[in-house]
């Protein structure tokens, strides 16, 4: 039986339901951040982050930093690109706009390559754009949490290496790491930035990044100093290297309890092959997508190949808005999220199906949510006379 107090099941695209052991790690007693016990925990955690990314290249470097996923954008924007350099931002929803704004804050020229809502830029468009001017970085939102659109980062990376080999491939993996396949070394990716609270299954408060040797080298050969302090790779790189070698090191106090929780969830995740974890998420996703179709509903992500496997953004029937449906779900013990993409936020809802809600065989969260959605929709339509 769960040690958690009774509560509605949180099925939004992050934060997600937590495993009991992960939450218990959050209540770890006080430790010095430079004492051997915590140093070991942090060092092991960093090594497990490598496994999470299926990476064994020692030139790559994981980072775990106190902050939200958003901080990862600042780390990219203030370290890996300089004032006046170009960034190509592939747009599949809300988060590309924000990443572009962050890049521009630090002086980069961000060019957005947009697709209609629910779609993604084509490989031909990407290739064409890369040929037009030299881009220091290209950014791809692996799964845009606002639309549920999945990008094919493997193929994008292939296009980049063929057309513009020096361009850094930067993946926003906030809603994909731990549920969508990522082969960091094999696909020749330069940066994946993510956060703790989605498919990694840890409470929010950790910015997690993986940088390739190429990315580290790009940072080291900057013409100008990094344009931030808290987000500076120069400040964090020695800290991460030291902890991973079990040496204490200080730049800023690490969030010791969150690191314990990350250690616990990564121990669980990396105990099994990542391929198995991806397959479980894909199976659950198939089940959700089939149920959505059975209800006569469409997804925001319009094509099977661009639909995320750990969340589903669902267009509501004409005449219904999120406030008509979400309370009916809550009444049935299930929490979904409202829309987030500004242009269409009132027309769809988002269902997160990741982490223990799909991997723990003792939980029936997805079935419960599908049943609740069906009932809540019927109820909402009746109330509106639809």
- Residues engaged in binding a second copy (CB under 8 A): 4-5, 7, 10, 12, 14-18, 23-24, 26-35, 66-71, 73-74, 77-78, 101-102, 105-106, 195, 197, 203-205, 225-232, 250-258, 335, 337, 340
H helix runs in the chain, sequence order:
20-26, 36-52, 70-79, 94-105, 123-132, 153-163, 213-220, 233-244, 256-270, 274-294, 322-331, 356-359, 365-384
Q: At its nearest, how many Å lie between a second copy and the CB of residue 103?
A: 9
Q: Which is nearer to a second copy, 26 or 274 (CB)?
A: 26
Determine the Cα–Cα distance for residues 377 and 357; give it in Å rounded to an integer.
22
Question: Position of tokens 């009932």?
Answer: 375
Token digits of residue 290:
């089939």
Token digits of residue 250:
């200080």
Q: Which is nearer to a second copy, 110 or 129 (CB)?
A: 110
Q: Which is nearer to a second copy, 157 or 376 (CB)?
A: 376
Determine the Cα–Cα distance for residues 134 and 60; give it in Å rounded to an integer.
24
154 Cβ contact list (under 8 Å, min separation 6): 183, 187
Q: At its nearest, how many Å lie between a second copy and the CB of residue 186?
A: 30
Residue 296, judged by CB atoms within 10 A of its CB (0-12, 13-18, 19+), counts as exposed
Residue 245, judged by CB atoms within 10 A of its CB (0-12, 13-18, 19+), counts as exposed
Determine the Cα–Cα distance for residues 358 and 305; give it in Å rounded to an integer.
21
Q: Which is nearer to a second copy, 173 or 226 (CB)?
A: 226
Q: At its nearest, how many Å lie between a second copy and the CB of residue 127?
A: 29
Q: Which is nearer to a second copy, 123 or 250 (CB)?
A: 250
The answer to the question of whether 120 is labelled as a binding residue is: no
Q: Residues within the annotated binding site for substrate?
A: 350
């Amino acid at each position: 039986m769960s040690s958690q107090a009774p509560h509605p099941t949180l099925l939004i695209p992050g934060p997600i339901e937590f495993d009991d052991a992960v939450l218990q790690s959050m209540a770890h007693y006080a430790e010095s951040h430079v004492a051997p016990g915590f140093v070991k925990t942090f060092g092991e955690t960093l090594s497990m982050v490598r496994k999470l990314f299926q990476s064994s290249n020692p030139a790559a470097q994981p980072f775990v930093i106190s902050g939200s996923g958003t901080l990862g954008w600042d780390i990219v924007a203030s370290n890996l690109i300089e004032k006046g350099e170009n960034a190509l931002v592939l747009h599949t929803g809300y988060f590309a706009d924000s990443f572009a704004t962050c890049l521009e804050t630090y002086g980069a020229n961000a060019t957005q390559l947009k697709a209609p809502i629910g779609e993604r830029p084509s490989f031909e468009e990407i290739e064409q754009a890369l040929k037009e001017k030299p881009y220091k970085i290209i950014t791809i939102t692996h799964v845009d949490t606002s639309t549920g659109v999945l990008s094919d980062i493997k193929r994008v990376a292939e296009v980049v290496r063929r057309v513009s080999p020096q361009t850094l491939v930067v993946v926003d993996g906030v809603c994909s790491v731990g549920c969508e396949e990522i082969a960091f070394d094999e696909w020749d990716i330069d940066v994946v930035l993510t956060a703790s609270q989605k498919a990694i299954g840890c409470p929010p408060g950790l910015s997690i990044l993986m940088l390739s040797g190429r990315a580290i080298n790009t940072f080291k050969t900057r013409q100008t100093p990094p344009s931030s302090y808290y987000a500076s790779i120069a400040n964090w790189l020695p800290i991460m290297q030291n902890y991973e070698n079990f040496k204490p090191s200080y730049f800023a106090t690490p969030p010791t309890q969150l690191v314990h929780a990350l250690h616990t969830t990564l121990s669980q995740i990396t105990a099994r092959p990542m391929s198995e974890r991806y397959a479980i998420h894909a199976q659950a996703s198939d089940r959700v997508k089939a149920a959505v179709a059975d209800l006569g509903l469409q997804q925001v992500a319009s094509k099977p190949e661009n639909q995320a496997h750990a969340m589903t953004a669902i267009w509501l029937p004409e005449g219904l808005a999120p406030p008509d449906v979400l309370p009916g779900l809550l009444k049935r013990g299930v929490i979904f999220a409202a829309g987030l993409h500004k242009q269409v936020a009132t027309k769809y809802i988002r269902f997160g199906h990741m982490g223990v809600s799909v991997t723990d065989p003792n939980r029936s969260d997805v079935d419960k949510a599908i049943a609740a959605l069906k009932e809540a929709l019927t109820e909402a339509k009746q109330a509106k006379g639809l």
